[in-house]
Amino acid sequence: MFSLENKISIVTGGGSGIGKAIALLFGSQGSEVHVFDVDENAKEVSEEINSAGGSAHYHKCDVTQQADVRSAVASVIENKKSINILVNNAGIAHVGSVETTSEEDLVRLFNVNVKGMYHCMHEIVPLMRKTGGVILNMASIAASVGLPDRFAYSMTKAAVVGMTLSVAKDYLHDNIRCNCISPARVHTPFVDGFLKKSFPGREQEMFDKLSKTQPIGRMGKPEEIAHLALYLCSDEASFITGCDYFIDGGFVRLNN
């Protein structure tokens, strides 16, 4: 079950955190994985997949630049029949209310979190219309609940949910499924960097505090998000489209 044999997949932001976990898992399940990341350290992820007997390639790609995305996609489909799976994972965060969020920060988040996904879908959907395919977008619980000081981030992730529903509706008859995942806090290198920068000397205290905001009592693991991604991108999920999946330790429904 959940085999991705003979599937060509693209994972944006696949160099670290959730994207890395998804890329590694997809590679272990037989997919030929193409890692799109602006950070050249992401080469290590493709090398890890190849070393384990899988097949992977790294493409330096800034998803905010349509020309970059177009070039990277062209290099994927060279000698390939199609792209079967797109995981739109690349994203950035920001802390601030509407008053403390600058226009520059707002545009920066929009360019990565919204335009970046648009660029990838704009280039890949026409290819998928010929053969069918699966698109999985990374949203957040911030799109569905009020989080303090997450104005710009919440705005962009709500846009992700909207784009997901729109694409799912428009391409129902082209055999393209489109869903999104909305995680709560997940322990990634980004979290560690944020705590080190914002709470020097109090990292463990604040880590414990943030962990306990999930009713289950801890943060999620990137591998747990990856397992849900695998299911939604597999043929076993062929009846699922237009859905937003909370994977949040009970945050949305149980945080009374």
Q: How confident is the model at residue 203 (pLDDT cuts 50, 70, 90)?
A: very high
Residues 147 and 22 in one domain: yes
Nearest to 11 by CA among 152, 159, 162, 222: 222
| pLDDT the model gives residue 226 | 98
- Cα 78 to Cα 10, 38, 75, 118, 245: the distances in Å are 14, 21, 5, 22, 33
Q: How confident is the model at residue 194 (pLDDT cuts 50, 70, 90)?
A: confident
| Contact (CB, 8 A) for 15 and 45 | yes
| Contact (CB, 8 A) for 89 and 13 | yes
**Cα–Cα distance, 58 to 36 (Å, whole number):** 6
Residues 172 and 60 in one domain: yes
- Cα 122 to Cα 76, 115, 116, 181: the distances in Å are 15, 10, 10, 20
| pLDDT the model gives residue 254 | 94
Q: With pLDDT > 90 as the criterion, what percentage of the chain qualifies?
A: 93
Residues 197 and 91 in one domain: no
Mean local confidence (pLDDT), 92-118: 97
pLDDT in tens, 8-65: 999 999 999 999 999 999 999 999 999 999 999 999 999 999 999 999 999 999 999 9
Q: Is residue 252, in this structure, part of any structural domain at all? A: no
Q: Is residue 3, in this structure, part of any structural domain at all? A: no
**Which residues lie below 8 Å from residue 18, measured CB to CB, with a gap of 6+?**
89, 138, 183, 186, 188, 222, 225, 226
Q: Is residue 173, in this structure, part of any structural domain at all? A: yes
Least confident range from 31-35, 131-135, 186-190: namely 186-190
Nearest to 124 by CA among 64, 186, 167: 167
Residues 170 and 215 in one domain: no
- What is the number of structural domains in the chain? 2
Other beta carbons within 10 angstroms of residue 95's beta carbon come to: 15
* Residue at token pair 């800034």: 62
Residues 213 and 237 in one domain: no
Q: Is residue 105, in this structure, part of any structural domain at all? A: yes
Residues 80 and 143 in one domain: yes
**Cα–Cα distance, 108 to 178 (Å, whole number):** 25
Residues 48 and 145 in one domain: yes
Q: Is residue 1, in this structure, part of any structural domain at all? A: no
| pLDDT the model gives residue 169 | 98
Q: How confident is the model at residue 167 (pLDDT cuts 50, 70, 90)?
A: very high
Residues 78 and 172 in one domain: yes
Q: Which residues are catalytic?
A: 153
**What is the helix (H) or strand (E) element at residue 45, kind and residue range?**
helix 43-51
Q: Is residue 253, in this structure, part of any structural domain at all? A: no
Mean pLDDT of the chain: 96
Domain carrying residue 207? 187-219
Is pLDDT above 80 for 80? no
**Cα–Cα distance, 114 to 180 (Å, whole number):** 13
Residues 194 and 67 in one domain: no
Least confident range from 92-96, 119-123, 136-140: namely 92-96
Distance of alpha carbon 221 from the chain centroid: 14
Q: Is residue 200, in this structure, part of any structural domain at all? A: yes
Q: How confident is the model at residue 256 (pLDDT cuts 50, 70, 90)?
A: low
Residues 160 and 204 in one domain: no
Mean local confidence (pLDDT), 148-172: 97
Q: Is residue 255, in this structure, part of any structural domain at all? A: no
Q: Quick one: CA torsion of 226, 228, 229, 235, rounded to 10 degrees?
A: 130
Residues 68 and 191 in one domain: no
Is pLDDT above 70 for 148? yes
Nearest to 181 by CA among 219, 222, 132, 149: 222
Residues 151 and 162 in one domain: yes
CATH number at residue 16: 3.40.50.720
